[in-house]
Structure 1
Amino acid sequence: MTEIRGHVAEGFEAVGDAFESNFELHGDVGAGFSLFVDGEEVVSLTGGVADADGRPYDEDTLQLVFSTTKGATAICAHLLAERGLLDLDAPVVEYWPEFGAAGKGDVPVNWLLSHKSGLVDVDRTMSLDEALDWDSVTMALAESAPLWEPGTQHGYHAITYGFLVGEIIRRISGKSIGEFFAEEVAAPLGLDFWIGLPESEQHRVAPLIPMSSIPEPMMLAEEDPASDDAPLSLIAMLEQFLGPDNMIGRALTAPGGAFAEEHAWNEPRVRAAQIPAANGVTNATSLARMYSSLVVETDGVRTLQPETVD
């Protein structure tokens, strides 16, 4: 039986039961869960193991949290807007002149935040080394043409979102997104949360289990809509969409196919880089505390003003 650690406040026992069932019924390996209500943490749970050696997955364990990092990056942009330093309706070129290449001169900042700029990928192939170099990626984005007419459609900017928004933050503040987030968001709340993980914290990370190594594919539906009898698995679905010529595949492996290999996300150098749409490293309590502070004072901090959130 999996050891579950932490606490559950009275009235939230069903949440604890659901967390435990993920291990007993669904094969979870290691996980953390946190729930804040009215600024107070009412559920804080960890369980399972953090690595192949059996290290306990506990409150000290850190995890790559992929796209929840986008929220952290967006918070930084809105802090600048609250201070009158960033106009969300202004053209991006007011802050980043080079961005105007390839017909992007009229794209406003808010289209970057709302996935409407059409820059889900760059115009050229990039190596992983290039993708970990901030200037290389932002230069490639500035030079690239949109994949659709900006503002006419939404399309998930899985990786490029963070570079686009983060470069505006850097141009205005003079700080990298990792530095700005650490000083303006993480420090006031006492978060264990980094965009660009320091070497001193790498040992705390629970590595990801590659999807390709999962023996029993996760079922998304009882039957595949494309077949009369074949089950639809998450792996099969991703294989359909992750081709290099598919827009979804390009977005998820951007920039320029640099993240086509799933093992890349377990590399310490990837966690150490600043990829502010995808490589935040934190734990459940810190992540939940950050989001709680957007809607109510949490540990004495209200990160954004109510009118900003409303």
Structure 2
Amino acid sequence: MTVIYEDLGPQGQIMGVCAPEFSGVLDAFRANFLTGGEVGASVCLVRGDDAPVDLWGGIAQAGTADAAPVPWHHDTIGIVYSCTKGAAALCLHHLIDQGKIGYDDLVADIWPAFAVGGKAATTVAMMLCHTSPVPHLREPIAAGGLTDWDYMVDRVAAEPAFWQPGTRQGYHALTYAWTVGNLVRLIAGQPLGRYFADEIAGPLGLDFHIGLPAALESRVAPMIAPDRAEVNFASRFFQAATRESGSLPNLFLTNQGGADFNARDVHAAEIASANGMTNARGLAGLYAPLARGGAGVLRADTVARLGRVCAATLDDAVLMQSMRFGLGFMASIDNRASGGDSLLIGESAFGHVGMGGSVGFADPAAGIGFGYTMNRMGPGILLNARGQGLVDAVYQALGWSSPDSGAWRV
């Protein structure tokens, strides 16, 4: 294992460890800073019981007139947006493994208030794979609403179905926090954030939080908005989001109750679709046991389900591009030919992207867990060039062939 310390000048340093056979990942990480506009970031690869790549670097917080920039340290954390959905899904699978609920069970039997407005036929599996009929809320979310658990649960329960349950796929960008999240709360008898801490993150030793304690706030790297010049506003998604008031893409981007995801109240809340706080080590550590058949977290038969696509479409009702989902996790997605956003991982791999470009995934065929987080968000709605370059470097180092089929293959 090689200890890394590289001075990037005003951009800070790159530090950590990298095994020689994964030097291409270090090269890609360095290039992200030098030519890719990276500000602060971390990348981690876990294989078996080892972490052959564990790197961090750059700037976590910009300097001011009164203070120097804060470097990205080994324990810097940041919001990983929809990567949180993978953690939320894992909690529900954990309860299913204990026999406390089944994939085909009706949500109405657990959460009777949800069974209104055409939603009564919704199953637990539909909640996980984004075919539940509540991808968003039509009417405006009240100011501060995302941080008010009871308010959001009541709103989601009362929302009329956007389609007959299970007949359409539409990414539950925000509502996943209360569809899957409330199922976990009702079945476990405690909030999802606490269940995740006690049953998943704690036993695995993960620095991963859904509902960040105030004592950890000083370690957070604030998010930097993407450069508008990089955003493809000509895409179907952004055309609808900016021009079609009330459309699902428009609701996704605009109906969030004015939430500031850099604010303490949002960090402290339980929003299990969007406010998980961790770094690359936390994401890789979450997925590494799943790459080893569950490794005490889930049964091997359950893990086998996670990489199996259960919902796929050429036209997601929210993202307006092709998408492939397993039970709570994204599979490899190739939208390069259509100009959409992609996630190119192994065919048996599964994980989740976060808005701006963070990603975590397991690849059982490769035996790896991977994580990447950053503070300067990229354009688009899935992985961007910085994250994909790191993923590609990992598969290249493993000797895999190519992603030209739409997924990396041996």
* Cα distance in structure 1, aligned partners of 2:29 and 2:178: 34
Structure 2 gaps of 5+ residues are 1-7, 64-68, 305-410
Confirm or deny: 8 A CA contact 1:95 1:168 kept in the other structure: yes
Residue 142 of structure 1 and its aligned partner are, at CA, apart by 0.7
**TM-score under structure 1 length normalisation:** 0.87
- SS where residue 117 of structure 2 aligns? helix
Count of matched residue positions in the alignment of Structure 1 and Structure 2: 286
Residue 295 of structure 1 and its aligned partner are, at CA, apart by 2.2
In the TM superposition, 1:40-59 aligns within 5 A as 40-53=50-63, 54-59=69-74
Aligned residue for 2:216?
201
Residue 124 of structure 1 and its aligned partner are, at CA, apart by 2.3
Bigger mean CA deviation after superposition, 59-68 or 35-44: 35-44
* Cα distance in structure 2, aligned partners of 1:259 and 1:63: 21
Residue 236 of structure 1 and its aligned partner are, at CA, apart by 6.0
- SS where residue 131 of structure 1 aligns? helix
1:289 is aligned with what amino acid? G
Aligned residue for 1:227?
none
* Cα distance in structure 2, aligned partners of 1:284 and 1:111: 29
Aligned residue for 2:248?
247
Structure 2 residue 295 is the aligned partner of structure 1 residue 285: no
- SS where residue 292 of structure 1 aligns? helix
Distance 1:236 1:49, change over 3 A: farther
The match for 2:92 among 74, 77, 86 is 77
Structure 2 residue 290 is the aligned partner of structure 1 residue 294: yes
More relative contact order, 1 or 2 (CA 8 Å, 6+ apart): 1
**TM-score under structure 2 length normalisation:** 0.67
- SS where residue 164 of structure 2 aligns? coil
1:279 is aligned with what amino acid? N
Confirm or deny: 8 A CA contact 2:119 2:164 kept in the other structure: no
2:164 is aligned with what amino acid? E
- SS where residue 152 of structure 1 aligns? coil
Residue 122 of structure 1 and its aligned partner are, at CA, apart by 2.0
The match for 1:12 among 2, 7, 22 is 22
Which runs of 4 or more aligned residues in structure 1 lie more than 3 Å from their structure 2 counterparts after TM superposition?
233-239
RMSD (Å), alpha carbons? 1.8
* Cα distance in structure 2, aligned partners of 1:7 and 1:27: 22
* Cα distance in structure 1, aligned partners of 2:224 and 2:127: 31
Aligned residue for 1:119?
134
Distance 1:129 1:294, change over 3 A: same
Aligned residue for 1:26?
36
Residue 86 of structure 1 and its aligned partner are, at CA, apart by 1.1
Structure 2 residue 190 is the aligned partner of structure 1 residue 175: yes
Confirm or deny: 8 A CA contact 2:138 2:246 kept in the other structure: no
Confirm or deny: 8 A CA contact 2:45 2:51 kept in the other structure: yes
Confirm or deny: 8 A CA contact 1:170 1:177 kept in the other structure: yes
Confirm or deny: 8 A CA contact 1:118 1:147 kept in the other structure: yes
Identity of aligned residues (%): 37
Confirm or deny: 8 A CA contact 1:68 1:278 kept in the other structure: yes
> Which whole-Å deviations, capped at 9, do the CAs of 1:122-171 have from their partners, x for residues lacking one?
24211232221111111111111111222111111101112100101111
1:189 is aligned with what amino acid? L
Confirm or deny: 8 A CA contact 1:123 1:140 kept in the other structure: no
Structure 2 residue 256 is the aligned partner of structure 1 residue 258: yes
* Cα distance in structure 1, aligned partners of 2:183 and 2:58: 40
* Cα distance in structure 2, aligned partners of 1:309 and 1:8: 28
1:148 is aligned with what amino acid? W
* Cα distance in structure 2, aligned partners of 1:235 and 1:41: 39
In the TM superposition, 1:77-156 aligns within 5 A as 77-156=92-171
Aligned residue for 1:226?
none
> Which whole-Å deviations, capped at 9, do the CAs of 1:47-102 have from their partners, x for residues lacking one?
10001121011211011001110000000000100000011101001110101011
Aligned residue for 2:398?
none
* Cα distance in structure 1, aligned partners of 2:200 and 2:279: 15
* Cα distance in structure 2, aligned partners of 1:210 and 1:235: 15
* Cα distance in structure 1, aligned partners of 2:22 and 2:29: 11
Distance 1:267 1:235, change over 3 A: farther
